A and B are shown apart, each in its own frame.
Chain A
Amino acid sequence: MIGDRSFGLVCLEMALLLLAGPLVTGTIQKIKARLQCRTGADLLQPYRDLAKLFRKDSVQADTASGFFRSIPVLVLAATVTAGALVPVIRVGPPALPLGDAILLLGLLALARFLTAIGALDAGGAFGGMGASREMTIAPLVEPVLMMVVFSTAVAAGTTELGALAAHRGTEWLLAWRAADFLGFAAMLMLLPAETGRIPVDNPDTHLELTMLHEGMLLEHSGPGLGCMLLASHTRQMVTLALVSALFFPAGPAGTGAASLLLGVGTSAAKILVLAIFLALVESSYAKLRLFRVPQYLGIGFVCALVALALRIL
């Protein structure tokens, strides 16, 4: 259905997600450091890394094919496009039909697929291992994510995120019912998996035994690596925004600069909360063995299924 979020607004939201991505990463790192009684790096460190990477020369594996160079670009583009689909500042469907949850998941999957291709291209063992594991986890995450989306979509009768948010309305927490709590629980279980963090993945190391996502980046360098990193920041940001849009889409309805700022503030607050949650989880849990992950996701699946059952039955 035709909403009132103009294309400009959508672009603005997209840009926000893109630019704030590294900041969120930085925040999480900072909190983790604090929790581990370290000073930790500056909040803006990720930006500095990116800037450095984009200035560097690039080294490419001699066995890599012509696809290799274009992959970071495509990954970044796909992720950012996904960013265009989540409502951040204001709820309600966009004017242009760009707000579908399934499409968003599709774009994220596209980014992941291309990343795996890039990892295999160089032809080293690490890339293959990372790709294999990533592509093992991803299919298990997707159905659960889909069911979480459905658990809210069934009520609203649409998969358009803006519309979903609008349907949930502003008094979200008061209106929550058991189904919502279960769905939210499932979503929280998925969050580390989707953002590639402990207990599913460990973003900080390149150790063979622990890495999934980082292993796929090994052969990228310079601007390419920069694109990949930026993409993963954005991806994490998009996921957080998706959660907030699905479960607590508080945001002013009115137009005008004031309400816009208010919207930015609220969403920033929500994302901060989620970031803190992630940091807490990361510093309080250990990484799971790869073959324990399916069980872990199974819990999420059951939660989502029960949530749906409560909705439908």
Chain B
Amino acid sequence: MDVQAGPGLMAACYGGGALSSLLLARGSGRLAVGVGHVAACAGALVGLGLSLGVLLGEPGRTIIQPIPVLFPFARLSLSIDGLSAYFLLVISLVAIAAAVYGPAYLRALSPEARPARQAAQGFALNLFLGCMAFVCCAGDALTFLLCWEGMTLASYVLVVSDDRDGENARAGLLYMVMAHGGTALLLVAFLGLTERAGAFDFGALRATASGLDPPTRTMVFFLAFGGFATKAGVIPLHVWLPRAHPAAPSHISALMSGVMLKVAIYGILRFAFDLLAPGAGPLPSSWGWTVLFVGTTSAVLGVLYALQQHDLKRLLAFHSVENIGIILIGAGLAMILWRQEATSSALATVALTAALLHTANHAAFKGLLFLGAGSVLCRTHVRNMEELGGLARRMPSTAALFLLGAVAISALPPLNGFVSEWLTFQALLGGATRVQGPGGLIIVFAAAMLALTGGLAAACFAKAFGVTFLGRPRTPHAEHATEAPPSMIAAMAWLAALCVALGVAPGYAMRLLDAPTSALLGGAGSSAVVAARGPLVLSVALTPSGIGGTAMSMTMIAALLVALTAIAWVLRRGWRRGSRRTAPTWTCGMSPSARFDYTATAFAKPLRLVFAALYHPRRDVTHETSESPYIVRRIHYAGEIVDLAETHIYRRAARDISILSQTIRARSTGSIYGYIGFVLGALVVALLLVGVIYR
């Protein structure tokens, strides 16, 4: 099939899906949902083919297709180059899983949902996927903005689609408002360019931007960065994220966390390396350092806040903040190193490769984890992990897949999370060697923070997995859980397979990264730089002379690991076949019960105390004593941590604004004399001004 037909076909699939599920609204809801998800899956497959066609097609290929004229003042068009295709690929990969997962999930979660609502699900899902896909394929500012807002709107609908309590509506409101603020910044950034260019399409913008004076260009970049950062949930613009993502249905959460944030990353890369890139010479240094700093902050704070969450999906949402931070570290490093020296541009390629690879990796394992959380949710209807436990014996496949995702996101070998973090470390090391002076130190510090992040993530997921799936069930919800339906398992298995493949044989993925990296940075693509020694070996040459490079082969490590495991297994069986019997866990002689299990709160407590300065933890313990104060009947414990940005910036601002407007409204007059007075006053003042100015 010709790649040229791809976009149209994709639009047809998504649009058709949206419309058909809308038309089926009056009829059976299940049919609407089914049709919607099938169409979404088809659209994702088309997107997959399209992106692969571009990525593996002849290098430097860009598909440009005009859109029939809609607005008299702008020519709309699509343009799909390497970068667009890569993000389209990521979107499609997760979208397939979500589309497979969705129907069974929705049915299991709320079987009694009204047809209208189910149809809305199908409609919004297709709209969401379509808009995301076409944001990446947009060839001009207006298409970009329209799809961008469409994406926000569709995800908003999905977030509030389940409005059993007001909580989701509030989360949706916060999300929508912050997204709108971000869009406002984007508007200014884009219009600042389009008005100079006199046209909307990216080609014209590129041409204009290369002629911009540095201050203006930097201002435009930071406007755009602010807009995208809001969408990406970068700290301190993240407050909407941990509320909105959990509120959505889980497969939508997977899409939002795994993919939608990446669209923002796409925007940042598009602006920094493509639209605003100067004709020659490096980018303004302020850009890269800012992005690096912001990325590091988000990574550390994100995982720290994630550690203290007990709501499974909220925890995952905070981890998205962390991973976006890691991606931004790579991107920022690439901005710093780009076009610095001969070899640094190769180094920049390494950094960008790390960022892009982590984009795909995060999409895979975060999608997997959210789907796993969804399976737990739809079987137990509980999101608070304190009320779960012991699920590994009841939902073994789900548990195994979730564990795989946990290992991957904790950046542990031999899975994919480690690969991208390894590349990031290499790039950071290279940066430290190239950038002398304080800059180098900052880069090394970022490396240390990255290591800290990895360790904390491991701790966090030891907690998440252990408390949710291991030990004894703490409540009847968990007690009576059963394994998730096969279609949901299949969707998770698909993503898990991606995690393993990207982890064990990352060299092959580099082939896909060639197009975007060379499109953005010019020069050799990833596979030439990182997979120079064949697809099995990742190698990075750090010093100009080429000596002292680093090489690592995930494949061999994995093989070694498997072999040794086999040997150790034999060893464990023992010389003679020892019998195995089971006995209750040792609890100092008491009869064990679920109350002996370590809770999430307890597990995270040491770190809560270590980082108390960041958490401002609050705990209130009330003793319920009987007649004598020494006999304690019951102890109530309530503890919480505060999100500094939220309490210190957002809550305060919101409160002040509302108080201000309340007072203004209360002071306003209702008497007609005041009305007339205002009119008269306005006239007199205006006349005075005219008289004074034009004397």
Binding site for B on A (CB under 8 A): 1-2, 54-67, 72-74, 76-78, 80-81, 84, 93, 96-98, 100, 102-103, 105-107, 109-110, 112-113, 116-117, 120-129, 131-133, 135-136, 138-147, 150, 153-154, 156-160, 163, 167, 218-219, 222-224, 226-227, 290-291, 294, 301, 305, 308-309, 312-313
Contacts and interface: CB of A to CB of B under 8 A. Distances in A.
Contacts of B403: 67, 117
Given A55-B576, A77-B568, A81-B557, A313 B441 contact: yes
B427 to A, nearest CB: 12
A156 B548 contact: yes
Nearest to A159: B550
Interface stretch (B90-98, B118-126, B357-365, B460-468): B460-468
| Highest count of chain A CB atoms <10 Å: which of B393, B426, B471, B602 | B471
Interface string B395-410: 0100100010001001
B678 to A, nearest CB: 63
B451 interface: yes
Contact of A146 (B426, B451, B607): B451
Nearest to B445: A305
A112 B580 CA distance: 25
Given A57-B580, A77-B561, A143-B451, A106 B574 contact: no
Interface in B93-116: none
Contact of B444 (A62, A124, A294, A308): A308
B650 interface: no
B606 A59 contact: no
B610 A140 contact: yes
Contacts of A102: 422, 425, 552
A113 B459 CA distance: 8
Nearest to B564: A77
Given A123-B597, A132-B602, A309-B441, A98 B556 contact: yes
A88 B574 CA distance: 29
Given A61-B585, A143-B455, A150 B429 contact: yes
- Chain A contact residues: helix, strand, loop or mixed: helix
Contacts of B591: none
B398 to A, nearest CB: 12
B548 A158 contact: yes
Given A120-B598, A308-B444, A313-B438, A1 B548 contact: yes
A277 B73 CA distance: 77
Contacts of B557: 81, 98, 103, 107
A60 B580 contact: yes
Interface string B530-569: 0001000101001100011111110011001100110111
A113 B444 contact: no
B529 to A, nearest CB: 15
Interface string B457-495: 011011101110111100000000000000000000000
A150 B412 contact: no
Contacts of B567: 77
B70 interface: no
B574 A54 contact: yes
B652 interface: no
A96 B539 CA distance: 12
Contact of A113 (B393, B407, B596): B407
B338 to A, nearest CB: 20
B641 to A, nearest CB: 16
A77 B565 contact: yes
B444 A81 contact: no
| Highest count of chain A CB atoms <10 Å: which of B462, B467, B609 | B462
Interface string B367-396: 000000000000000000000011011001
B524 interface: no
Nearest to B570: A73
Contact of B455 (A62, A65, A109, A132): A109
Contacts of B610: 136, 140, 291, 294
Contact of B459 (A77, A136, A163): A136
Contact of A127 (B441, B447, B573, B598): B598
Given A96-B553, A120-B462, A61 B587 contact: no
A121 B587 CA distance: 14
B548 A113 contact: no
Contacts of B208: none
B455 A125 contact: no
